[in-house]
Chain A
Amino acid sequence: EAEVAQSPRYKITEKSQAVAFWCDPISGHATLYWYRQILGQGPELLVQFQDESVVDDSQLPKDRFSAERLKGVDSTLKIQPAELGDSAMYLCASSLGLRENTEAFFGQGTRLTVV
């Protein structure tokens, strides 16, 4: 069964260091999402891609976060410098397209701990 792949599963980093997460969506899925999930809350959208283009990054803290999807397939989310408040689960999801009723499928996530 096709699935969204994310790595690493866990990451511990010191504050002020740089950290990067990788996501490989389900083959053929044009839309890719990065979500952040703080413990005990629902996922919140950070950035949304359609192919290689950013569709929405209004909730992405652009002073420290960046995201790219250069060839319209896999994607990288970077934080530099990391802060203690960035500790969370970072989830990647993909869907066939941006249409209203297309299902989104999530990866297992990357659990980030900033110390």
Chain B
Amino acid sequence: GENVEQHPSTLSVQEGDSAVIKCTYSDSASNYFPWYKQELGKGPQLIIDIRSNVGEKKDQRIAVTLNKTAKHFSLHITETQPEDSAVYFCAEKGALRSGGSNYKLTFGKGTLLTVNP
């Protein structure tokens, strides 16, 4: 079945530094990889996503890279700020059944990012 591994489980950085979170996936047919930010007591919020037809996507201080050959993708946050502190989840969207046309999201276990002022 599909599996998403996420590392590290916790990450502490100083304000202004960069943070990198990495994920690997097993379903080689997956083509959509979103990242979610979850603040305490709230639902996950989509912050950026990447589709397999591109290798990198950037949105202000956030960027994602995708290596389909190696089946891994990463989230990069530059110039971190205290409000970036949250749990970040990677996910991959794979087919419910092999060769099918319905898809489901499978999440990693999350990374607790702490940005110290």
Flag if B41 contacts A111 (CB, 8 Å): yes
Chain B residues closer than 8 Å to A103, beta-carbon distance: 34, 46, 49
Cβ-closest chain B residue relative to A43: B107
CB B97 to nearest CB in A, in angstroms, measures 9
* Chain A residues proximal to chain B, CB less than 8 Å: 4, 6, 33, 40-45, 48, 50, 55-56, 91, 93, 98-101, 103-109, 111
For window 34-84 of B, CB contacts with A under 8 Å fall at 34, 36, 41-46, 49, 51
Flag if A48 contacts B51 (CB, 8 Å): no
Main DSSP-derived SS at the B contact region: strand
* Chain B residues proximal to chain A, CB less than 8 Å: 4, 6, 31-32, 34, 36, 41-46, 49, 51, 89, 91, 93, 95-96, 101-110
Q: Which of A93, A99, A107, A111 makes the CB contact (< 8 A) with B103? A: A99
Q: A41-B110, A91-B44, A106-B45 are in contact. Are A100 and B104 (CB under 8 A)?
A: no
Flag if A108 contacts B42 (CB, 8 Å): yes
Enumerate 14 A-B pairs (CB-CB under 8 Å) in ascending A order: A41-B110, A42-B4, A42-B107, A44-B107, A45-B105, A91-B43, A98-B102, A98-B103, A99-B103, A100-B31, A106-B43, A106-B45, A107-B43, A109-B42
Flag if A101 contacts B93 (CB, 8 Å): yes
CB B100 to nearest CB in A, in angstroms, measures 10
CA distance A101 to B31 in the complex (A): 7
Flag if B103 contacts A100 (CB, 8 Å): yes
Cβ-closest chain A residue relative to B30: A100
Cβ-closest chain B residue relative to A55: B102
Flag if A56 contacts B93 (CB, 8 Å): no
Chain A residues closer than 8 Å to B51, beta-carbon distance: 101
Flag if B109 contacts A42 (CB, 8 Å): yes
CA distance A44 to B45 in the complex (A): 16
CB B53 to nearest CB in A, in angstroms, measures 10
CB B1 to nearest CB in A, in angstroms, measures 10
CA distance A56 to B41 in the complex (A): 27
